Amino acid sequence: MLFAGSIQDRQPVHVSTTFPASKDKVYCYLELADVAKDQKITYVWTYGGKKDEQAGQIKKAARWRTWSYKMITGKKGEWKVDVLDEAGVVLKSATFGVE
């Protein structure tokens, strides 16, 4: 799980944990290996105590890449993203900052 300023050719570009407040989007990029079955995931973006959920899909595959993005322009502070499985269990969690 990484945060990036953009995605090009299904790869994260400008990977960082800190982004300028002038940046319009930040991407949460996931790369998974040996996915056993098709399943739904949920990205939970948290900023300022407010949560926003975005649904995603993972397919059975030896390698699967997926991402979600959020508009962050001017929203300074700490952000958190949790990725949940279908049962609501946290698969991965990470934070990034906007300065």
CATH of the domain at 39: 2.60.40.10
CA distances from residue 70 to 2, 23, 40, 96 in whole angstroms, order as listed:
14, 11, 19, 12
What parts of the chain have a pLDDT lower than 70? none
pLDDT at 87: 94
Locus of tokens 């700490």: 78
Summary mean pLDDT of the chain = 96
pLDDT at 25: 97
Give me the number of domains the chain comprises. Answer: 1
pLDDT at 4: 98
In the chain, the percentage of residues whose pLDDT exceeds 90 is: 100
Which pTM was predicted?
A: 0.93
Residue-number span of the structural domain to which 61 is assigned? 2-98
Q: How many CB atoms lie within 10 A of CB 26?
A: 23
